[in-house]
Structure 1
Amino acid sequence: MQYIVGVDIGGTFTDCVVLDTAAENGVAVEIGKASSTPPDFQTGFLHALEAGARGHDLTLQALLRSARVFHGCTVGTNALVEGKTARVGLLSTRGHIDATFIMRSGARLKWMPSQYIAHVAKQTKPEPLVPRALCEEIDERVAFDGAAVVDLNEDLAREAIVRLVDKGVEAIAISLIWSTANPSHERRLRDLVNEIAPNLFVSISSEVSARVGEYERTVATVINAMIGPPMRHYLEALEGDLAANGFSGKLQIMSCAGGLIDSDLARSLPVLTIGSGPVAGLIGATNLSLSKVGGSTNVVTADVGGTTLDIGTIHHGVPIRRPTASHGQFEYFVSTLDVRSVGSGGGSIIRAGDNALKVGPDSAAANPGPICFGRGGRLPTVTDAAALLGYYDPDYFFGGRIRLAIDPAREALSELGATFGMSAEEAAASAMRIVNAQMADAIWLTLTQQGYDARDFVLYGFGGGGGLHAGEIARELGIHTAVVPLSDLAAGWSAFGIAASDALVNESAGMSMASPFDPDIINEQWRRLEARVLDKLANQGIALEDIELSHHAELRYALQTNQVAVSVEGGDYDAGGVERMVAVFEAEYERLFGQGSGYSAAGMQLTSLEVRGHGPMSDVAIENVEMGDAGADFPGKRERDVRWATGMQSTPIFEGTRLRRGWSAEGPAILEFPDTTILVAPGDSAAIHDTGSVVLTVGGKQ
């Protein structure tokens, strides 16, 4: 297959990169962009794919006949956000039906905004994911060691399933106590559901999240069931459209863990796809960071889209992950790269509120979009403010594919600014300062909660607005180097990250082992998990010799509540191997919670083991990507008046595609690429790296 295609669907735009791996001078890249088309996202997918194909002088059909297609799928995420999920029934062990209603008081606040946490009197528990009328108790019981204490009563189980079907459920979640030790009852219940209602989506906890923790495991299983039917519908429609246009391969889907899974696994475990688009950008940034672009392998990423800012962290070249994810106040067990989203982006709406100018979190999104797009938008956005300040060329936005209407944007900002005694330009400049500060605050909070200092990091800014905001975000954080990865490719960076990703399979085993840990039991689990990983990767077409395995454990102190996941050595464990695993846990625990915070005298518990396997799906390497012109040195195409923080100033505008590697300039300047605009503020400087990335050196406060 000559071409590799990566497609990422965002709230505003659908991004596509088409990589020609047989190009004469390396890997040739073309970006295709199209407006996202909710609820039929596959339409925007095909429009972006057509745009990418045209860049290679191909028809869509010719491209698909010789392409591998990788996809960052947001259908599950969007279904949760918009409340368009399936009606779910829940089957639980008798006496354990209240797990999702009781919740965990501390955990439910963990990912909430600080303002919400501070106002205790205003805190409320969310509506349950499954109403009590759709919850059924099942007579069965498995002990912690896997022994069946009470056999499954199949007659009563059938009656419970029929009641749920009669109430119109579209999916059933099954979460039984200690199914992590023995999943036989869950599997039999699934068989019964399939006999009674063959078309229902069924989600069982031992396959969704085989980890100890009844509440988090149940939530993961329920969420998987909630988004199962819409995901199944979407993939069927998309794969049908792709096949009709000549695609005969297997669609690969990006997972939140940072790798590709096949579409069959995505159908059965759609919870693995939640947040996968932003994760792909972090994967691409990780690959670039290993080349020390910007001078460090410590990188914080700012993926600025039309709707959100997505934040990721890379420490010493390794992306930070966490063992849990969240949906609102519901925390659940799914291993994911730690990417956090806030409502700040190019489509964020600017309005008056509480006697102050406010930006976001609501967005104009793809429809109607910013006012200057001329698609019916009436509320001013960050993009409108940027256009009014002179940051964008109205005739060259997205390479001229969208012509910006400045006057309607000015009129709306003038009306808004009058509320505060400001001109339209003053309101626009204030909004830009606010949104940059909001983005910087969100990044600072992320790094602080992970135990890091922002000043020890390089900032990578990508997405449609990364180049616009990267310098000012870095300045707010005290970061002196910002990078716009591979220049124009930054606009489709998440799509590029998808196209350059490996296949990845995670298999975990929930445990409840108290110290001292038995190495024989650990070794037995390692072998089982490794076998399952190898089998799934083989099904994705990965050769055994190309598979790399890594091993991970989750432990906690017996009298403390914080479980910590750590990377450990593989192989056969003896007493020394166990000691080294414990030492890694204790060191990481103290890094996260402070010196002396551990309590080893109380003993420890091993709560889960995990094996991750990955193998190459594409041979794309960043150093082989054709970016930038090695010979041209175009000094600048013109100047225009731009309003900076220091005031209005005539600013040179450089044509980005004509800038050779090694070129540099002092600010103020604007680098214009077809899909990316990069601001170089007064006092800052920009240089083109050997990879084609734009490296900004950021001065002090302006």
Structure 2
Amino acid sequence: MRYVVGVDIGGTFTDCVVLDRGGDAGVVVKIGKALSTPPDFQTGFVDALRAAAEMHGVTLENMLGDARIYHGCTVGTNALVENKVARVGLLATRGHTDTIFHMRAGARLKWMPSHYIAHVAKQTKPAPLVPKHLCAAIDERVTFDGEVLVALNEVSARAAIRLLIDRGVDALAISLVWSTANPAHEQRLRELVREIAPDMFVSISSEVSARVGEYERTIATIVNSLIGPPMHFYLDALAGDLAANGYRGDLQIMSCTGGLVDAAHATALPVLTIGSGPVAGLIGAANLARQAQPGESNNVVTADIGGTTLDIGTIFQSKPVRRPTASHGQYEYFVPTLDVRSVGAGGGSIIRAEGAVLKVGPESAGARPGPICFGRGGLEPTVTDAATVLGYLDPEYFFGGRLKLDRAAAERALATLGKPLGMDGPKTAAAAMRIVNSQMADAIWLTLTQQGYDPRDFILYGFGGGGGVHAAAIARELGMAKAVIPLSDLAAGWSAFGITASDALIAESAAVSMVSPFDPAEINTHWRALETRVQGKLVAQGVAVEAIRLTHHAELRYALQINQVPIEAEGGTYGMDAVERMVSTFEGEYERLYGKGAGYAAAGFQLTSLEVRGTTALADIDMASIGLGEPGNGGAPKGHREVHGRTGPTVTPVYDGSRLVPGDRITGPAILEFPDTTVVIDDRSAVGMAAGSVVIELNLSKEPV
């Protein structure tokens, strides 16, 4: 295919990156942006496609006729956040229908803010994902080793299914005890559901999350069913709109595990798409970090700053950091994901005054009505309004000149807000910018330190619509010496680009319960079975066996301890030497996470899960071949404008970023403008270009006392 298309839907904008691989100038990249259109997100999707086609000088139909589309889908995430989910019924083994109500105390607090954890008296359980009257008991029992102790009672099972349907459920979640050892009863229950209600969406836990841990596995299955119907509706509507505009290819969907799955897989397991947009940005950053110059740190923290959220990802030694669980509020569940954490801070974050205190976010103006300066009916000032008033953004060149900003309206609103505090519009804007930058830096600091990392050992990659505006200030506050705006203007649509650079990925896991000394023969049996399942699913998607790359992963813990630690394991056929190396890898990772000497080898080891991931390159993008414009003569500013810095208003040079080439070096203060990205350089920093990226070097010795 000539065109490789990546689309990422955000809270404010839908980004579309299109790579044209058919020209003589190498790969040419253009970004199309359109306002997101909730709840009919497919409309904004097609609008962004059309904008990108216009940038390439072709019609949408001609582009789609020779394209492959990769999509970061936020429908599941949005459905959960907005509580626009299906009405789900739960079928569980008799005696186990209360599992989701008991929860786990530690896990329930794991992802909550520190101030909430500290106030024990204020802690409450969240509303149940499934109310008790929609939970039905199933007569069956399987033992831990897969033996059927009590056969499935199909008569009572049919009655339970009909009862839940009569009570108005839209989808069903089936989670039986020890279905990870023997899924036959869950599979038969699904068949019974389809006999009674053929169109009912059904999830079974042995396919959603084949992991030991009844509570987390059940929650994963329920979440999958909660978002199953809205995901099915969205992908069907999107497929129809794309077909109407000439698209005949398969739609690939980004997953939170860090790879692409086909639309059918995403429809069946939509839980894999939750948080997939930010994950794509992390994948793209990791690919770029691997091409770093010798001697440059390959430890990267990513700051994806959009209109609604800041999404933070970690890359350690060129590899994205993963975690074995995901969460929805206080509910933790088993779905492996790249470790991306989101906080409510972005260009649309609303600025408010509460008494004598100025606050920013987490509420956002979103796409509708948006910031005041957009002129779309917004009434409350936002971070984007502050950036406009401070002179960071050119009102005539925002969005490449496609959206004119009303600076006067933004300044009036900020002046009104700041008047009780004794501040005019620019001072209120400067205070709000300082606050939001500090909030973002705090969130990144917490993310890194919780994982055992020192922020000073990392480089900050800032992308998304606000990455260039905030990156230098955030990096300075964290004590980082360098910040990067990856591939310059492409940073504005970096998550969409990251999707195009991702591989197809299928992961299959097996719940195991082995205590040391581990039997290599049993491990080998699991490896071969998992490899066969992974290869079979990828081949069914049209991938050649020889193109599949397999990696092996395991989860272990010390006996008598509760912390399971995921590690990458070697493949092949295991003997005792391979088993010993796997245990040694676990011990090293455990000490890195919890401190030297924290392990307890004398108690022995437990192997709890094995996983095989299969990947294959789809678009196979070489970042070095990407052309973003016609460079040259970038050392001279294209103009000047007044910018409010830390010492007050200063007439600041403005440069055309697309003209910069490696070797050009600009000392701040300065503004770099690209069609979709603006980079703010303060008076204590310098900037240059490296492999198409903007590299900001912060002079930390010039920090104010």
The alignment's TM-score, normalised by the length of structure 2, stands at 0.98
Matching residue of 1:110: 110
Letter in 1 for 2:58: L
- Is the contact between residue 635 and residue 665 of structure 2 (CA under 8 Å) also seen in structure 1? no
Matching residue of 1:17: 17
- Is the contact between residue 30 and residue 628 of structure 2 (CA under 8 Å) also seen in structure 1? no
In structure 2, do the counterparts of structure 1 residues 62 and 244 end up closer, same or farther at CA, with 3 Å as the change threshold? same
Matching residue of 1:3: 3
Matched, 1:501 2:502: yes
Q: Which runs of structure 1 show a deviation greater than 6 angstroms over 4 or more consecutive aligned residues?
A: none
* Separation of aligned partners in 1, 2:484 and 2:256: 24
- Is the contact between residue 76 and residue 273 of structure 1 (CA under 8 Å) also seen in structure 2? yes
* Structure 1 range deviating more: 282-291 or 542-551: 542-551
* Separation of aligned partners in 1, 2:350 and 2:21: 40
* Separation of aligned partners in 2, 1:50 and 1:451: 44
Matching residue of 1:323: 324
Matched, 1:637 2:620: no
Matching residue of 1:365: 366
Deviation of the 1:628 alpha carbon: 4.6
* Structure 1 range deviating more: 535-544 or 118-127: 535-544
* Separation of aligned partners in 1, 2:687 and 2:629: 14
* Structure 1 range deviating more: 383-392 or 652-661: 652-661
Matched, 1:216 2:210: no
* Separation of aligned partners in 2, 1:401 and 1:410: 21
* Separation of aligned partners in 2, 1:85 and 1:696: 43
The alignment's TM-score, normalised by the length of structure 1, stands at 0.99
Matched, 1:388 2:428: no
* Structure 1 range deviating more: 484-493 or 289-298: 289-298
Letter in 2 for 1:283: I
Q: 1:620-659 counterparts in 2 under 5 A?
A: 620-633=621-634, 635-659=636-660
Deviation of the 1:500 alpha carbon: 1.2
Deviation of the 1:560 alpha carbon: 0.7
Q: 1:236-385 counterparts in 2 under 5 A?
A: 236-292=236-292, 295-353=296-354, 355-385=356-386
Q: In structure 1, the residue corresponding to 2:156 is in which secondary structure? A: helix
Letter in 2 for 1:84: K
* Structure 1 range deviating more: 553-562 or 339-348: 553-562
* Separation of aligned partners in 1, 2:119 and 2:622: 49
* Separation of aligned partners in 2, 1:354 and 1:535: 62
Letter in 1 for 2:181: A
- Is the contact between residue 557 and residue 607 of structure 2 (CA under 8 Å) also seen in structure 1? yes
* Separation of aligned partners in 2, 1:630 and 1:291: 21
* Separation of aligned partners in 2, 1:305 and 1:12: 8
Matching residue of 1:442: 443
In structure 2, do the counterparts of structure 1 residues 633 and 406 end up closer, same or farther at CA, with 3 Å as the change threshold? closer
Q: 1:580-595 counterparts in 2 under 5 A?
A: 580-595=581-596
Matching residue of 1:194: 194
Deviation of the 1:568 alpha carbon: 0.8
Matched, 1:530 2:519: no
Matching residue of 1:204: 204
Deviation of the 1:354 alpha carbon: 5.6
- Is the contact between residue 36 and residue 367 of structure 2 (CA under 8 Å) also seen in structure 1? yes
Letter in 1 for 2:397: Y
* Separation of aligned partners in 2, 1:170 and 1:442: 38
* Structure 1 range deviating more: 512-521 or 187-196: 512-521
* Separation of aligned partners in 2, 1:24 and 1:397: 30
Deviation of the 1:633 alpha carbon: 3.1
- Is the contact between residue 629 and residue 659 of structure 1 (CA under 8 Å) also seen in structure 2? no
Deviation of the 1:634 alpha carbon: 5.4
Matching residue of 2:415: 414
- Is the contact between residue 634 and residue 656 of structure 2 (CA under 8 Å) also seen in structure 1? no
Letter in 2 for 1:200: M
Deviations 1:454-489 (A, max 9, x none): 000000000000000000000000001000001000
- Is the contact between residue 21 and residue 620 of structure 1 (CA under 8 Å) also seen in structure 2? no
* Separation of aligned partners in 1, 2:54 and 2:635: 26
- Is the contact between residue 645 and residue 682 of structure 2 (CA under 8 Å) also seen in structure 1? yes
Deviations 1:275-318 (A, max 9, x none): 00000000000011011169221100000000000000001100
Deviation of the 1:663 alpha carbon: 1.3
In structure 2, do the counterparts of structure 1 residues 419 and 614 end up closer, same or farther at CA, with 3 Å as the change threshold? same
* Separation of aligned partners in 1, 2:356 and 2:183: 57
Matching residue of 1:50: 50
Matching residue of 1:462: 463
In structure 2, do the counterparts of structure 1 residues 269 and 653 end up closer, same or farther at CA, with 3 Å as the change threshold? same
- Could you say what the CA RMSD is over the residues aligned between the two structures, in angstroms? 1.0
Deviations 1:189-237 (A, max 9, x none): 0000000011110000000000000000000000000000000000000
Letter in 2 for 1:403: K
Deviations 1:234-257 (A, max 9, x none): 000000111111111110000001
Matched, 1:148 2:148: yes
Letter in 2 for 1:143: T
- Is the contact between residue 634 and residue 657 of structure 2 (CA under 8 Å) also seen in structure 1? no
Letter in 2 for 1:511: V
Matching residue of 1:404: 405
- Is the contact between residue 3 and residue 66 of structure 2 (CA under 8 Å) also seen in structure 1? yes
- Is the contact between residue 628 and residue 660 of structure 1 (CA under 8 Å) also seen in structure 2? no
* Separation of aligned partners in 2, 1:424 and 1:19: 41
* Separation of aligned partners in 1, 2:561 and 2:341: 26
How many aligned residue pairs are there? Answer: 701
Letter in 1 for 2:88: V
Q: In structure 2, the residue corresponding to 1:30 is in which secondary structure? A: strand
- Is the contact between residue 635 and residue 666 of structure 2 (CA under 8 Å) also seen in structure 1? no
Q: In structure 2, the residue corresponding to 1:404 is in which secondary structure? A: coil
* Separation of aligned partners in 1, 2:312 and 2:430: 24
Letter in 2 for 1:479: M
Letter in 2 for 1:560: Q
* Separation of aligned partners in 2, 1:632 and 1:381: 35
* Separation of aligned partners in 2, 1:505 and 1:363: 35
Deviations 1:66-103 (A, max 9, x none): 00000000000000000000000000001111111001
Letter in 2 for 1:379: E
Matching residue of 1:577: 578
Q: In structure 2, the residue corresponding to 1:473 is in which secondary structure? A: helix
- Is the contact between residue 172 and residue 201 of structure 1 (CA under 8 Å) also seen in structure 2? yes
Q: In structure 2, the residue corresponding to 1:33 is in which secondary structure? A: strand
Letter in 1 for 2:432: A
- Is the contact between residue 628 and residue 692 of structure 1 (CA under 8 Å) also seen in structure 2? no
Letter in 2 for 1:40: D
* Separation of aligned partners in 1, 2:165 and 2:52: 45
* Separation of aligned partners in 2, 1:529 and 1:558: 25
* Separation of aligned partners in 2, 1:618 and 1:542: 13
Deviations 1:563-606 (A, max 9, x none): 10001111111111111111111111111111111112222211
* Structure 1 range deviating more: 411-420 or 221-230: 411-420
Q: In structure 2, the residue corresponding to 1:68 is in which secondary structure? A: strand
Matching residue of 1:176: 176
Letter in 1 for 2:318: G
Matched, 1:478 2:475: no
* Separation of aligned partners in 2, 1:59 and 1:634: 36
- Is the contact between residue 629 and residue 660 of structure 1 (CA under 8 Å) also seen in structure 2? no
Q: In structure 1, the residue corresponding to 2:125 is in which secondary structure? A: coil
Structure 2 unmatched ranges of 5 or more: none
Deviation of the 1:674 alpha carbon: 0.5
Q: In structure 2, the residue corresponding to 1:537 is in which secondary structure? A: helix
Q: In structure 2, the residue corresponding to 1:419 is in which secondary structure? A: helix
Deviation of the 1:629 alpha carbon: 3.2
* Separation of aligned partners in 1, 2:355 and 2:120: 21
Matched, 1:122 2:122: yes
Matched, 1:564 2:565: yes
Deviations 1:95-152 (A, max 9, x none): 1111110010001111111111111111111011000000001000011100011000
- Work out the percentage of aligned pairs sharing the same amino acid: 66
Q: In structure 2, the residue corresponding to 1:145 is in which secondary structure? A: coil
Q: In structure 2, the residue corresponding to 1:85 is in which secondary structure? A: coil
* Separation of aligned partners in 2, 1:455 and 1:629: 35
